[in-house]
């Protein structure tokens, strides 16, 4: 697996919007392994597609193109294909052109529920992390579609999302993210156009309802450019919402690598998504801001609280913990505390209200100092271990100190493999890491 260091972050420059195919292409250009991706896609239990990955020129720039090519039966006709690839467009030999006659827009179009899509994912050979990322993207899309259609997420049937090409795009996005191993993803603003777009339900305003719903719930920063056309697809918006951890670039950073993902549409803005691997320029410790959310809960089951913690962490909380407290009338209760980035606050509050009996949440913006951290693998006599390294600032002229912390899951895996107790495995690893 290709893994980027934890100190490095992925920065997505969405000045021409974002779509699923552009995102996948950009990550492939950054170094995601094509063969690994193809093996994962080959495990999808759905027919009717093949994938082409190649170099193209967009606005004179060399870029990667990720193209899902469908057979006639499985072609997605939710968006107007003539709009995507107009007949008069000179697309050139490097650009795909998959036009269908109107008389071929038949009843073969497949509408899938969220359950159907998740069952497809369960039948793949994806890693657990890749499957988790893909499920989160589909969950975000399902919620947005359900809100747009005035129904529940259990009842909504995906149109664009349930189509084969969208399933492939999202699966590919999850696989590439898993390969590259980014823990921080920065996405400051997403550019969108104006006008209308044809879909299964007729002409819809841009941004389309699903995109707006995702932006609202997940606090995506949109910039309406005034350029005619759709630049942000529901799939692209869902990917952005699922992986973003910050909307703020560091004050200074170095660029380690650049990836260009080509879009298919020819519009006013260049159809390119630029992805950059950046490394913040800072000392051993950096200062940033974080939000702390607190709520008192005295009438909620332990199972509900445990599930709430799982959801909060899965949705991007940096930390979640409960503290036993006594409330008025000496009732035993728990103080739920959540730490998260500012852009995650609305989503965290939504989950707390939905999953617990809380009727009010307090929030405080706090400054914090964070040690520089990197994550790596290390070989020990017991096996391979994941290690987090922190650099402690210099004290008394003795220089900075590097400290190593084995990841719990890695230690636990070695315990299960060797049959040795946890303290013994941990101490042996620490001796070898020093």
206-262 pLDDT, tens per residue? 999 999 999 999 999 999 998 998 999 999 999 999 999 988 888 778 899 999 999
Name the pairing type of β-strands 9-13 and 272-280. antiparallel
- Report helix, strand and coil shares of the chain as percent, to nearest 5: 35, 30, 35
The pLDDT of 181-204, averaged and rounded, is: 86
To which residue do tokens 């309802």 refer? 209
**So what's the pLDDT on residue 103?**
31
For domain 286-370, the CATH class is alpha beta
pLDDT digits (tens, 9 = 90+) for 334-375: 999 999 999 899 999 999 999 999 999 999 999 888 887 778
By mean pLDDT, which of 98-107, 403-412, 425-434 is the weakest?
98-107
pLDDT digits (tens, 9 = 90+) for 47-63: 888 999 999 998 889 99
Tell me whether residue 375 is exposed, middle or buried, using C-beta atoms within 10 angstroms of its C-beta: 0 to 12, 13 to 18, 19 or more: middle
The pLDDT of 414-418, averaged and rounded, is: 94
pTM: 0.63
Per-residue CA distances from 303 to 67, 147, 201 (Å) = 44, 28, 42
- Please report which helix (H) or strand (E) contains residue 374, including its range: strand 373-380
Instruction: Work out the end-to-end distance of the chain between its first and last CA atoms, rounded to an integer number of angstroms.
Output: 26
pLDDT digits (tens, 9 = 90+) for 79-138: 333 333 333 333 333 333 333 333 333 334 456 778 888 888 888 889 999 999 999 999
Question: In the chain, what are the domain boundaries?
Answer: 9-280, 286-370, 372-433
Instruction: Provide CB contacts within 8 A for 279, sequence distance 6+.
Output: 7, 8, 9, 253, 254, 256
**So what's the pLDDT on residue 337?**
97
**So what's the pLDDT on residue 233?**
92
């Amino acid at each position: 697996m290709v893994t980027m260091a934890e100190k490095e972050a992925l920065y997505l420059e969405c000045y021409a919007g974002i779509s699923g195919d552009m995102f996948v292409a950009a990550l492939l250009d950054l170094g995601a392994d094509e063969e690994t991706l193809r093996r994962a896609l080959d495990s999808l239990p759905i027919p009717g597609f093949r994938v082409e990955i190649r170099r193209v020129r967009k606005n004179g720039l060399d870029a990667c193109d990720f193209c899902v090519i469908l057979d006639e039966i499985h072609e997605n006709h939710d968006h107007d294909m003539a709009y995507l690839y107009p007949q008069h467009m000179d697309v050139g030999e490097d650009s795909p052109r998959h036009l269908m006659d109107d008389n071929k827009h038949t009843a073969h179009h497949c509408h899938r529920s969220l359950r159907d899509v998740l069952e497809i994912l369960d039948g793949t050979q994806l890693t657990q992390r890749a499957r988790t990322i893909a499920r989160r993207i589909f969950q975000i899309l399902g919620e947005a579609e359900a809100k747009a259609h005035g129904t529940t997420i259990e009842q909504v049937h995906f149109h664009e999302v349930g189509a084969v090409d969208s399933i492939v795009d999202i699966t590919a996005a999850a696989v590439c993210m898993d390969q590259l191993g980014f823990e921080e993803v920065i996405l400051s603003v997403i550019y969108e156009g104006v006008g209308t777009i044809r879909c299964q339900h007729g002409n819809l305003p841009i941004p389309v309802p699903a995109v707006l719903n995702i932006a609202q719930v997940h606090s995506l920063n949109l910039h309406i450019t005034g350029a005619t056309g759709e630049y942000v697809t529901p799939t692209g918006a869902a990917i952005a919402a699922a992986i973003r951890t910050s909307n703020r670039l560091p004050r200074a950073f170095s660029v380690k690598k650049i990836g260009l993902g080509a879009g298919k549409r020819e519009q006013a803005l260049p159809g390119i998504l630029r992805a950059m691997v950046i490394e913040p320029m800072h000392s051993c410790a950096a200062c940033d801001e974080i939000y702390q959310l607190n709520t008192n809960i005295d009438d909620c089951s332990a199972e509900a609280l445990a599930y709430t913690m799982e959801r909060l962490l899965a949705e991007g909380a940096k930390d979640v913990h409960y503290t036993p407290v006594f409330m008025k009338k000496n009732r035993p209760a728990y103080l739920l505390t959540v730490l998260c980035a500012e852009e995650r606050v609305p989503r965290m509050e939504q989950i707390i209200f939905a999953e617990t009996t809380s009727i009010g949440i307090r929030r405080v913006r706090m400054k914090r100092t964070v040690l520089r951290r990197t994550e790596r693998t290390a070989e020990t006599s017991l096996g391979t271990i994941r290690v987090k390294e922190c650099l402690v600032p210099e004290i008394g002229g003795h220089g900075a100190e590097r400290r190593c912390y084995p990841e719990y899951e890695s230690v636990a895996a070695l315990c299960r493999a060797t049959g040795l107790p946890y303290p013994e495995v941990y101490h042996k690893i620490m001796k070898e890491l020093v």
